Amino acid sequence: MKFYVWLLTWLILGPVLSAQSTPPSLVLEGTVTSAQNKTYIEVPFPVPDNVHRLSVDFSYTGHEQHTALDLGIADPYRFRGASGGNKNHFTLSETDATPSYLPGEIPSGRWKLLLSVPNIRAGVISHYRAEIRFNPPAEDHSFASRPLATGSRWYRGDLHMHTAHSDGSCTSQAGHRVPCPVFLTLQAAASRNLDFIAISDHNTVSQFDAMRELQPYFDKVLLIPAREVTTFWGHFNVFGTTQFIDYRAVDHDGLDIDAILRDVRSKGAIASINHADAPSGERCMGCGWTYSTPVDLSLFTAVEVINGGVIMLSSADFWEHAIAAGHRLTAIGGSDNHDALTPPGQPGAIGRPTTVVEADELSVSAILDGIRNGRVFIDLTSSHDKLLDLDATIGSRHARMGEDLAASNAASVQLDAHVVACAGNQLHLLVDGHESPALAPLQISSNDETLHAHWTASYGRHWLRPEVRDGHGTLILIGNPIYINFPAR
The parent domain of residue 269 ranges over: 143-384
Choose one of 107, 141, 175: the last residue of a domain.
141
The whole-angstrom separation of Cα 235 and Cα 307 is 12
Question: Are 200 and 277 in the same domain?
Answer: yes
pLDDT, averaged across the chain: 94
Distances (CA, A) of 452 to 199, 395, 412, 420: 39, 15, 13, 15
Beta strands in 327-421 (DSSP E): 330-334, 354-361, 376-379, 387-394, 397-400, 404-405, 412-420
Confidence of residue 405 (pLDDT cuts 50, 70, 90): very high
Phi-psi region of 447 (alpha: psi -120 to 50; beta: other; left: phi over 0): alpha
Domains: count for the chain: 3
Instruction: Check if the beta carbon of residue 416 is closer than 8 Å to that of residue 451.
Output: yes
Question: Are 377 and 390 in the same domain?
Answer: no
Question: Are 10 and 150 in the same domain?
Answer: no
Question: Are 226 and 351 in the same domain?
Answer: yes
Confidence of residue 2 (pLDDT cuts 50, 70, 90): very low
Question: Are 57 and 27 in the same domain?
Answer: yes
Question: Are 186 and 281 in the same domain?
Answer: yes
Question: Are 40 and 165 in the same domain?
Answer: no
The whole-angstrom separation of Cα 215 and Cα 185 is 12
Question: Are 35 and 174 in the same domain?
Answer: no
Instruction: Check if the beta carbon of residue 127 is closer than 8 Å to that of residue 120.
Output: no
Question: Are 203 and 342 in the same domain?
Answer: yes
Q: What does the pLDDT read at residue 20?
A: 57
- Which residue, among 420, 321, 346, has the nearest Cα to 377 in the 3D structure? 420
State whether the Cα torsion 271-276-278-283 is positive or negative. positive
Check which CATH number belongs to the domain holding 272 and give it.
Answer: 3.20.20.140
Question: Are 171 and 27 in the same domain?
Answer: no
Residues 419-454 have pLDDT tens digits of 999 999 999 999 999 999 999 999 999 999 999 999
Strand-strand pairing, 109-119 and 68-74: antiparallel
Instruction: Check if the beta carbon of residue 352 is closer than 8 Å to that of residue 335.
Output: yes
- Which residue, among 109, 93, 103, has the nearest Cα to 45 in the 3D structure? 109
Instruction: Check if the beta carbon of residue 318 is closer than 8 Å to that of residue 272.
Output: no
Confidence of residue 245 (pLDDT cuts 50, 70, 90): very high
The whole-angstrom separation of Cα 344 and Cα 306 is 17
Question: Are 378 and 434 in the same domain?
Answer: no
Q: What does the pLDDT read at residue 310?
A: 82
Name the DSSP class of 97.
Answer: B
Check which CATH number belongs to the domain holding 465 and give it.
Answer: 2.70.50.30
285: pLDDT strictly greater than 50:
yes
Residue 282 exposure: Cα atoms within 13 Å on the Cβ side: 0
3 state DSSP class of 115: strand
Residues 357-380 have pLDDT tens digits of 999 999 999 999 999 999 999 999
Choose one of 342, 365, 384: the last residue of a domain.
384
Q: Where are the alpha helices (DSSP H) in 85-181?
A: 137-141
3 state DSSP class of 479: strand
Check which CATH number belongs to the domain holding 110 and give it.
Answer: 2.60.120.380
Q: What does the pLDDT read at residue 412?
A: 96
Choose one of 384, 418, 447: the last residue of a domain.
384
Residues 73-83 have pLDDT tens digits of 999 999 999 99
The residues that bridge with 235 in the sheet, in sequence order, are: 230
Residues 175-190 have pLDDT tens digits of 999 999 999 999 999 9
Question: Are 437 and 302 in the same domain?
Answer: no
